[in-house]
Structure 1
Amino acid sequence: MTTQPTTQLPIPSFFDARRVGEVWRVPYQDRATQARDWAKQQHLQPAAKDKVRLCLMIIDAQNTFCIPDFELFVGGRSGMGAIEDNHRLCEFIYRNLGVITEIAPTMDTHTAMQIFHPMFWVNDAGENPAPMTMISLDQVQSGQWKVNPAIAYSLAKGNYTGLQSFALHYVKRLSAEGKYPLTIWPYHSMLGGIGHALVSAVEEACFVHNIARHSQTNFEIKGGNPLTENYSVLRPEVLDDPAGRPIAQKNARFIQKLLEFDAVVIAGQAKSHCVAWTIEDLLIEIQAQDPQLARKVYLLEDCTSPVVVPGIIDFTDQADATFQRFADAGMHLVKSTTAIADWAGINL
């Protein structure tokens, strides 16, 4: 008879921690065979039989954020943050294969013509803003930055006036709601590109879990709307146009699915941005439904890092304070090395 394990499993021999910071092809057929053998050897049951249903949500563990020399590598204060996080994350998945019911990786997904990419905007000289430029409401109102007329053909059927009107509405909405000013990011997480893919070692771990537990990996795509930022997988930054018509909507289906699990574990990048925004949106939904639901959320503190640009910006303290606020609301701050059976509120 197979039961949900209460002790951690050994790490499979094929996991190579030295390659977590590299891009490589997962040998799917080999891993499928090994995963089936591993499940049999470790007496793992199909996830459908789990008495305690646990979802691991992995936020944006993609090459663009997690591999050095890619566009937005999250180094944290150590300079190797995302690599160190993903090493621990992979080991967490393997040690807890028999306990994790479903893995839900979020995938930041972009194309070139989006409101936060350089080519969307121009100044009077026809120049695009440099990556990491902050565009304020005053700068749009004054015409210092305006929508690039050349993109109106692709994004607005040639209606440049309408697109410019929307851009002004967008920055007004960000300002009115107290959100960060519009940030112009480097082209990143480009759909169809290598940067968009999950880190190879994380992809491999998810694939092994899928096969070993007969549990489909639940990929959640975010960020494809050209007219809004989408830091959180649960909700875009702006939902309507100047006339109040919807341009996007919150991910109600995924929110409800998460809240139906007995436990939700969250890891990924970056702690100060997409991770924090996603947890914040989840907490808003929880507090609207039942504040006690916060107790089913577990944050893997050692599997996420904040944005740090040495000598320029360091979001570490802000991210830590935000996580403490989540803990004060009832969520749990946990370490990946602690057995899930020992977490508060978990009864395997």
Structure 2
Amino acid sequence: MNTITQLPLPSFFDSSTVGEVWRVPYQDRAMQAKEWAKRWHLQPAAKDKTRICLMAIDVQNTFCIPKFELFVGGRSGTGAIDDNQRLCEFIYHNLGTITEIAPTMDTHTAMQIFHPFFWINDAGEHPTPAATMITLGDVQKGVWKVNPAVAFSLVNGNYLALQNHAFHYVKKLEDEGKYPLTIWPYHSVLGGIGHALVSAVEEALFFHNLARNSQTRFEIKGGNPLTENYSVLRPEVLESADGRPIAQKNTRFIQKLLDFDAVIIAGQAKSHCVAWTIDDLLTEIQAKDPDLAKKVYLLEDCTSPVVIPGIIDFSDQANAAFDRFAKAGMHLVKSTDALETWPGLSL
């Protein structure tokens, strides 16, 4: 059964290190998790009466550590650090109530459609990351073209097919009213330190895993070189220019989420990967049963929007999206509120 009592923070948790990268001492934490479970009478998650999933979206160094590639500072400048401090505290306080934690992992390689090397202009220059959005008009006019150097690795040298896909891709985004193709800095690169979970969050997840006998369920996204993948539930574009599928919805994970009694969502960034994931989840819910939206809880104080000072600020778009989710039946909550006070949540 779920433990309703809010637990204290373990002594090893140091909020001042949330914005830093360090090695989690796994064996020490494993022993402490066993002792913690005994001390606070924590039951295995399999015995939970109300099954609660915490989905932590892209809580990775690349988005959450200052001076990394895409640090999400929000308007405060320290957004992701503050969010992750609250997220860690939320996990520890509710260790006996959270049944399972599912972190998503943005996962990329160098040659992908949203990275600078994929594109080139007549001067042989690549687009400036974070400051360039490639529109349908740009591709039609030849302002930006697919870099011939990527064709060998991505499509066995068929450059024309890749150029056709690029035109189809930006047109599809425009036709569906999505953001134009944004060229991002190289980030979340598989095998790199930026891809790893934030150390303090990884520690909290590992501790929950062993204290509750509940395997952390990692969800990998973003490896397809021919499409963006903000949402963990589906890529931005699913088919090629000739109609052949290049990607698919994550139907397995969608069903897994809907099987829980409650789904709590946090992570980065509120304006992009978080909003896109929630939007896709809401689409699936409305197609199946709109009342299921009531089982979704959005941790407003554990997510921040993309803000690049002097260049772009997605705060208003992120807030508008969350307002729309709330009107559809999802709950906007704070990590500091006791779970037993959350609307509709029966523990």
Q: TM-score, normalised by structure 1?
A: 0.98
What is the CA deviation profile of residues 295-343 of structure 1, one whole-angstrom value per residue up to 9, with x for unaligned ones?
Answer: 0000000000111122322222221121111111000000101111111
CA distance in 2, matches of 1:186, 1:334: 32
Give the aligned partner of residue 229 of structure 1: 228
| One-letter amino acid matched to 2:232 | V
Give the aligned partner of residue 106 of structure 2: 108
What aligned pairs does 1:41-52 form with structure 2 within 5 A after superposition? 41-52=39-50
CA distance in 1, matches of 2:153, 2:320: 42
What is the CA deviation profile of residues 107-131 of structure 1, one whole-angstrom value per residue up to 9, with x for unaligned ones?
Answer: 0000000000000011111111110
TM-superposed CA distance for 1:144, in Å, is 1.4
Give the aligned partner of residue 125 of structure 1: 123
CA distance in 2, matches of 1:246, 1:163: 15
Q: In structure 1, the residue corresponding to 2:301 is in which secondary structure?
A: helix
CA distance in 2, matches of 1:311, 1:182: 20
Q: In structure 1, the residue corresponding to 2:264 is in which secondary structure?
A: strand
Q: Check if 1:181 corresponds to 2:177.
A: no
TM-superposed CA distance for 1:277, in Å, is 0.5
| One-letter amino acid matched to 2:58 | D
Q: In structure 2, the residue corresponding to 1:321 is in which secondary structure?
A: helix
Give the aligned partner of residue 164 of structure 1: 163
Q: TM-score, normalised by structure 2?
A: 0.99
What is the CA deviation profile of residues 102-157 of structure 1, one whole-angstrom value per residue up to 9, with x for unaligned ones?
Answer: 00000000000000000001111111111021111011111111111111110010
CA distance in 2, matches of 1:115, 1:59: 22
Is the contact between residue 6 and residue 341 of structure 1 (CA under 8 Å) also seen in structure 2? yes
CA distance in 2, matches of 1:118, 1:317: 27
Q: In structure 2, the residue corresponding to 1:273 is in which secondary structure?
A: helix
What is the CA deviation profile of residues 184-231 of structure 1, one whole-angstrom value per residue up to 9, with x for unaligned ones?
Answer: 000000000000000000000000000000100000000000000000
Moved more, 20-29 or 159-168: 159-168
What aligned pairs does 1:1-348 form with structure 2 within 5 A after superposition? 3-132=1-130, 133-348=132-347
What is the CA deviation profile of residues 46-76 of structure 1, one whole-angstrom value per residue up to 9, with x for unaligned ones?
Answer: 0000010000000000000000000000001
| One-letter amino acid matched to 2:290 | P
Moved more, 317-326 or 149-158: 317-326
What is the CA deviation profile of residues 209-260 of structure 1, one whole-angstrom value per residue up to 9, with x for unaligned ones?
Answer: 0000010000000000000000000010000011111000010000000000
Is the contact between residue 60 and residue 107 of structure 1 (CA under 8 Å) also seen in structure 2? yes
| One-letter amino acid matched to 2:136 | L
Aligned residues: 346
Give ranges in structure 1 of 5+ residues lacking alignment: none
Is the contact between residue 55 and residue 104 of structure 1 (CA under 8 Å) also seen in structure 2? yes
CA distance in 2, matches of 1:321, 1:244: 33
Is the contact between residue 112 and residue 190 of structure 1 (CA under 8 Å) also seen in structure 2? yes
Give the root-mean-square deviation of aligned CA atoms.
0.7
CA distance in 1, matches of 2:152, 2:159: 8
Q: In structure 1, the residue corresponding to 2:19 is in which secondary structure?
A: coil
TM-superposed CA distance for 1:78, in Å, is 1.0
| One-letter amino acid matched to 1:257 | K
TM-superposed CA distance for 1:7, in Å, is 1.6
CA distance in 1, matches of 2:137, 2:334: 44
What is the CA deviation profile of residues 75-110 of structure 1, one whole-angstrom value per residue up to 9, with x for unaligned ones?
Answer: 011110000000000000000000000000000000
What is the CA deviation profile of residues 29-50 of structure 1, one whole-angstrom value per residue up to 9, with x for unaligned ones?
Answer: 0000000100110000000000
| One-letter amino acid matched to 2:107 | T
CA distance in 1, matches of 2:184, 2:120: 15
Is the contact between residue 7 and residue 341 of structure 1 (CA under 8 Å) also seen in structure 2? no
Sequence identity (%): 78
CA distance in 1, matches of 2:101, 2:334: 18
CA distance in 1, matches of 2:100, 2:245: 31
Q: In structure 1, the residue corresponding to 2:271 is in which secondary structure?
A: coil
Is the contact between residue 110 and residue 189 of structure 1 (CA under 8 Å) also seen in structure 2? yes
